[in-house]
Chain A
Amino acid sequence: MTTPMEVPLQSEPGTPAPSNGAGARQVDGRSATAPGLARSLARRALTVVAASAVIAFLVTGIYEDSFRNHLVYSLCIGFSCWFFIEVGRQTIFRWARRRALRRGAPRSMLPPFRWMLPWIVVSALLGYEIGMALGNALLGQKAPGLGMFATNPRALAVVLIITILTTLAMTFWWFARASLAESEARAEVAHRVASETQLKLLEAQLEPHMLFNTLANLRVLIAVDPERAQAMLDRLIAFLRTTLHASRADLQPLAEEFARVADYLALMAIRMGPRLEVKIDLPDDLRDLPVPPLLLQPLIENSIKHGLEPKVQGGCIEIAARRDADRLVLTVRDSGVGLSEQATTAGTRFGLGQVRQRLATLYAERAQVALEPANDADGGTIARIVLPLALPAAA
């Protein structure tokens, strides 16, 4: 009667430990390294040992029998419970992950806590029974297992309530800790990706070749036409300011975006002379719509660099915004050499990939960008961005 009471109690400390270790390991990434895995297993085992020792000590104070014997039963049951919880957790985790993958990207690496609940109870009972048998075998004693509950229902009730409450409380605590760590890790990754994107964007904007060519033109213009030189310098300053600032700003009005596009194209028009014709069309009612900054810029640079610059006679670039039901459609159309010839100039897809990635981050699947040949007399290429009119989720 004494020994059985002590044992179920001490099955609880074993159970919370697994979800702790498991949670930590998953946050690190599913493919934990072998030393990392060994460390986390050791940490969990140590928790089980410590908890078993504490319970064995308490129980020795209440019931007869030696501390040594209590400790043996404690450890046997603790480790059995841990084993069952771990097996169940892995199974539930795999199943939950497959299910999440079928429905889209999994948000969390942790199995849902509510699915663990019944299994924790089952684990406690199984762990108790097997741990008792193991303890009996080790000590050569014959303490009763679950079978004793048939003769003593009160003991059964006490054991079950204490076991389940303690197990749940501790498992939940560990689970909460692990999921907090996970969300922190996720936030850190998101932050790092954002910083890297901004840096790349900045590098792409301040392309040295463009900058030095513009400065070369400016240097000439100062002598030839100081007034135009000043105007060009103003454009360059506005362009630089936006590029440096916009990389940090989340959203800006569409009118602002078009103004910067106009700055950039004005610089290009001075450089390319009559080879570049620019048309910009922004309806008044769309001016205030918030859009991510410098979204059009990479597409316009592509048009210039891969479409119009390689074309001997130059051509026209048209930037337009249109409302299409509940969507905003932005187009960049050039009459350049066209997509089939662009394969010769490498790096065409970098700008497009950048835009696609930003849209995916901000709007998920609600926004698209596409590049296609313009199938009319002028030829060339059309890049089209489709955005929802509503604010992006991340804003």
Chain B
Amino acid sequence: MKAPVALIAEDEPLLALNLQQELAKAWPELAIGATVADGASAAQQALALRPDVCFLDIRMPGLSGLEAAQTMAEDWPADVPFPLLVFVTAYDQYAVQAFEAQAVDYLVKPLETNRLTACVRRLRKRLADRAPQAALQESVDQLRALLATSPGATAAIERTRAPRLEVIQASVGNTVHMVPIDDVLYFEAADKYVRVVTAEREHLIRIPLRELVPQLDAQQFWQVHRGLVVRARAIAAAQRDDSGKVFLTLRGRPERLTASRLYAHLFKGM
């Protein structure tokens, strides 16, 4: 068996260095594939390096550790074992509760040697007897639950408070197009923009998708991917493939959309 590879995502340089040093003592044969300082790089590096273990700080610039994990789980190739995830947090009681509830590995800062040793022992055991396909499915289920509790919980609260969006105001040059929300078939994140797609045409708006979502009616608009929110009534059919992804065909649009593993559970026969 080849030596296991780890990825460390921690935005505070001293703490990243420390984790690396402590791991060298507790788990000498573990190779550190990369150390990154933000969530987006974490996801990108993980997908490129395909490490066996990822240590993800929760609070990072750009994407949080949890969002990085979501990106990884959504884009991970089905034939490669999904890495074991270890979340790292300084002080976040809610996150810790959620980790406990989902039996997710986590470490708290300041790092205690004993706890790290115990964590390493558990990780080695799980690496030894993991089944590739089951590992991914297990992580997907855990992440879905974590997303529903921590950032999802705040989103749910905001959902009840945020005023419902009735009209999308999309500006092109010095014209503002007023797009009634009832005309919108789906929203798709595209870098810093969101594409607003109706049956006839599409618009770009400069607002992050995660800010838009709380202003939408969750019954009408389903999040099916971290970057995709679709009107449920516009979905004509959903087809699952072997990797766990779900392809959606729409009414009124020719293109097919992809729902990620994390949201595949939304599409089940009644």
Contact = CB atoms under 8 A, between A and B. Distances in A.
B12 A273 contact: yes
Contact of B92 (A209, A217, A221, A271): A209
Nearest to A271: B12
Given A213-B15, A220-B17, A344-B211, 6 more contacts: A209-B59, A212-B109, A213-B12, A216-B110, A220-B15, A274-B13
B111 interface: yes
Task: Pick the most buried of B41, B91, B210: most chain A CB atoms within 10 A of its CB.
Answer: B91
Interface string A190-216: 000000000000000000110111011
A217 B12 contact: yes
Interface string A212-228: 11011111110010000
B61 A219 contact: no
7 contacts: A216-B15, A216-B18, A216-B110, A217-B14, A273-B13, A309-B11, A312-B41
A220 B14 contact: yes
Contact of B61 (A208, A209, A220, A310): A310
Task: Pick the most buried of B11, B12, B18, B111: most chain A CB atoms within 10 A of its CB.
Answer: B12
Contact of A312 (B38, B154, B211): B38
Interface in B148-169: 154
Task: Pick the most buried of B38, B90, B211: most chain A CB atoms within 10 A of its CB.
Answer: B90
A270 interface: yes
B62 A312 contact: yes
Nearest to A221: B14
A217 B90 CA distance: 11
A343 interface: yes
Contacts of B108: 212
Contacts of B252: none
B40 interface: yes
Which of the four size classes fits the interface of chain B? 20 to 34
Contact of B14 (A208, A270, A310, A343): A270
Contacts of A270: 14
B76 to A, nearest CB: 23
Interface in A299-324: 309-312, 314
A224 B14 contact: yes
B208 interface: yes
Given A217-B12, A220-B18, A212 B90 contact: yes
B129 to A, nearest CB: 32
Nearest to B192: A341
Nearest to A207: B91
Interface string A270-310: 11111100000000000000000000000000000000011
A275 B15 CA distance: 14
A216 B90 contact: yes
Given A220-B17, A271-B14, A273-B13, A311 B61 contact: yes
A137 interface: no
A133 to B, nearest CB: 63
A215 to B, nearest CB: 5
Nearest to B63: A312
A312 B90 contact: no
A268 to B, nearest CB: 10
A346 interface: yes
A205 to B, nearest CB: 15
Interface in A236-291: 270-275
B241 to A, nearest CB: 33
Contacts of B12: 213, 216-217, 271-273
B210 A344 contact: yes
A216 B111 contact: yes
B14 A346 contact: no
A208 B18 contact: no
Contacts of B18: 216, 219-220
Contacts of B91: 208-209, 211-213
